[in-house]
Structure 1
Amino acid sequence: MRRITRLPAALLAVLLTAALSTACGSDDDGKGASSSGGSSPDKVTYITGFGTFGREAYAYVAQDKGYFRDAGVSVTIQPGQGSAISLAALAGGRAQFAPVDLSSTIMQVGSGKVSGVTAVAAVHQTTDAAVMALADSGISKPADLEGKKIADPAGSVIGALFPAYAKLAGFDADKVDFVNLEPQQLGVNLATGKVDAVGQYRVGRPNIENAVKGKEVVVLPFGTFLTESYGSAVTTTTKIAEEDPDLVRRFTSALFKGMRYAIDHPEEAAAVLAKKHPTVNEKAAAAEIELVGEAVQPKKDGAPIGTMDRERVAGAIKALVDAGAVKSGLTPEQLVSFDLVPKS
């Protein structure tokens, strides 16, 4: 895989710090006492998975509806810039919670680039990573990506996962060019033919379809080959998980209450998001939220939103080891605090 442009890690950290300090929302409005017996609420920073797309609306709903406040947590929500940067923010103490793609966590922890982080609940029950192209591009299967140019944001898990995906799908990642673009630029560059395909979460398809104005979009989901992988998982630090498990449970419970409300009321959730971020396309955001509703449903009947299975995590690790994306030796317990995962 040839990466045409890639911002240096140090610059990414600077950009993250600047973005987090200027684009955020907080429910720390001094409204009364929390449900934790009248004491001051715990203040935390939550980074979204990526930007302010419809898929992120559930956190803003939890804030708007007072679910965080009722749980005794005051949450500042800040738009994220991808899994790798979110992991660095967690490890560096700049945030306490973030939805991070579990495959990214496996690769980052397995390579020793990040430590001191742990997943506590699954957001997406299967990996949501995908590549999207226009139907008239000649791309209909993974091997068609050879010789093509793919746009993907810097720090995105899709670019990080791509070599493993290519190996499992049976094509040469080194014959694909990657270019870094901001998330908002992906659809426009695809529509104008400046790139052949874009990295995008499956639930982000409505935004791409909106940008290409009705043209048919082909989706190549990584989950076809990474069958055991989870998608995003609520991630925190091991220190918080070990020293304040009650905070983790209260935060996660309130966050998923917002998720359930958003899924049941996608238009209202999109409006809540647009109120915080006026540039949001409400129609596309609502369509994304409906797709999120499918992505969060557990595979096992009766299991709650957020559930995670040790055997599946072990299978996800093995798939990345077999693909050469990470060395062997990593265990599920090094990645997930299973005692904090939602249970029936």
Structure 2
Amino acid sequence: MKLRTFTAVLVPTLLLAAATGCGSSSGEQSKNAQGLDKVTLTLNWYPYGEHAPFYFGKKQAIFEKHGIDLTIQAGQGSQKTIQATAAGQTDFGWADTPALLGGVGQGMKVKSLGVFLQTTPSSVQFFTEENIKSPADLKGKTIATTAGDALSKTFPAFLKANGLSESDLTLQNIDAAGKMAAVISGQTDALLGFATDQGPTMQEKAGKPVSYLKFADHGLSFYSNGLLANEDTIKDKKDLVTRMVAATSEAWTAAAGNPSGAVDAMEGASQQLPSKAVLTEQFTATLKLLHTDATQGQAPGVNTEDDWNKTIAIFAEAGMITKAEPPATYWDASFAPKG
């Protein structure tokens, strides 16, 4: 595979300070004046439509009902969120399952508490005018990617599943924050990203339609984003973890029932927040990813061992993990939401 390197403007460093209110991984959780547990959740990226349920859950006092005073922090990618969670710099993280598998494989003491996006939004994204209709049309194209992230590591498996080789195209290594600019400027033909994230923003900025080749539509589906905590928190604060999982599942259920209200709840969440139209499109696309065939009709965040095994097998084959461990190595099923 041909590989070119480009350095984009770096995202400002995120300071995940313990002073934000997260308790230590052992001992008592900090409380606010009303006696609620002060809890931090670090997202996988700056707030975008996918995250609406957390803000809606705060606005509707769902987390408060479960005894939680929630602070939501922006992230800088799933890998950094997992690192921060493992280090006790945040109580909980929201991150991509492939990155979690890789982190656990590297010895990080973190576990999933439940995957909520159970069909991956991973995709190749491009302006519709590129006339890319199938994976075969990627031959000869230049695609913006970020070296080392889960998308770049699974892309070869996507190509293989569709009869392509890695030499059929060029990957241009670009910082995650610069991939959209590369496509808009014509530096690259497409980018690797979440269909629930960059595409709607790129479409609005450029004023022309964006299309997708979604991995899940072309032979490669796996678990995506979910809630996680470090193993000390899971062991020492079981009641808090149980309440956080229950509140998160309830918030997702409530947001799915009121998408417009959920998007409205994000107002002021970030200086980088997309427009309401983009947020609505992002969240609408996200809601289609909440279940596999095995979890239809169940509460958001309920997983199955079989679905976990399928995801683990994909990433073992892709080389992201050296050994396919049992699901319990990566996921604590004991906190599964009810209802």
In the superposition, relative to structure 1, how do residues 164 and 43 fare at CA in structure 2: closer, same or farther (>3 Å)? farther
Q: Specify the SS of the correspondent of 1:233.
A: strand
1:168 and 1:96 map into 2 onto residues whose CA distance is 38
- Following superposition, the deviation at residue 257 of structure 1 comes to 2.4
1:103 partnered with 2:98? yes
1:302 partnered with 2:297? yes
Aligned pairs (5 A) from 1:197-208: 197-204=190-197, 205-208=199-202
1:226 partnered with 2:220? yes
1:181 and 1:212 map into 2 onto residues whose CA distance is 20
Where in structure 2 are there 5+ consecutive unaligned residues? 23-30
1:195 partnered with 2:188? yes
Match of residue 324 from structure 1? 319
2:57 and 2:101 map into 1 onto residues whose CA distance is 28
Match of residue 284 from structure 2? 290
- The amino acid across from 2:94 in the alignment is P
8 Å Cα contact 1:263/1:289 also seen in 2: no
Q: How many residues align?
A: 322
2:13 and 2:146 map into 1 onto residues whose CA distance is 13
Higher mean Cα deviation, 74-83 or 129-138? Answer: 129-138
Larger helix share, 1 or 2: 1
1:55 partnered with 2:23? no
In the superposition, relative to structure 1, how do residues 32 and 298 fare at CA in structure 2: closer, same or farther (>3 Å)? farther
2:148 and 2:226 map into 1 onto residues whose CA distance is 17
2:39 and 2:147 map into 1 onto residues whose CA distance is 26
Aligned pairs (5 A) from 1:79-158: 79-110=74-105, 112=106, 114-152=107-145, 156-158=149-151
Aligned pairs (5 A) from 1:154-165: 156-165=149-158
2:182 and 2:214 map into 1 onto residues whose CA distance is 20
Out of 332, 336, 339, which is 1:341 matched to?
Answer: 336
Report percent identity of matched pairs.
23
Match of residue 37 from structure 1? none
2:7 and 2:220 map into 1 onto residues whose CA distance is 25
8 Å Cα contact 1:103/1:231 also seen in 2: yes
8 Å Cα contact 1:206/1:287 also seen in 2: yes
In the superposition, relative to structure 1, how do residues 42 and 241 fare at CA in structure 2: closer, same or farther (>3 Å)? same
- Following superposition, the deviation at residue 99 of structure 1 comes to 1.8
Q: Deviations over 1:246-280 (max 9, x none)?
A: 21121122222222232222222222212333543
- The amino acid across from 2:285 in the alignment is L
- The amino acid across from 1:135 in the alignment is T
RMSD of the alignment, in Å? Answer: 2.9
Match of residue 16 from structure 1? 14
Q: Specify the SS of the correspondent of 1:165.
A: helix
8 Å Cα contact 2:146/2:174 also seen in 1: yes
1:67 and 1:25 map into 2 onto residues whose CA distance is 19
- The amino acid across from 2:323 in the alignment is S
Higher mean Cα deviation, 249-258 or 83-92? Answer: 249-258
Where in structure 1 are there 5+ consecutive unaligned residues? 34-39
8 Å Cα contact 2:299/2:338 also seen in 1: yes
Match of residue 168 from structure 1? 161
- Following superposition, the deviation at residue 234 of structure 1 comes to 0.9
- Following superposition, the deviation at residue 334 of structure 1 comes to 0.5
> What is the TM-score when the length of structure 2 is the normalising length?
0.84
- Following superposition, the deviation at residue 281 of structure 1 comes to 0.3
Q: Deviations over 1:75-120 (max 9, x none)?
A: 221111111111111111111212211122223323x2x4211001
Match of residue 281 from structure 1? 275
Match of residue 171 from structure 2? 177
Q: Deviations over 1:271-314 (max 9, x none)?
A: 22123335430111012112222211453343211111111111
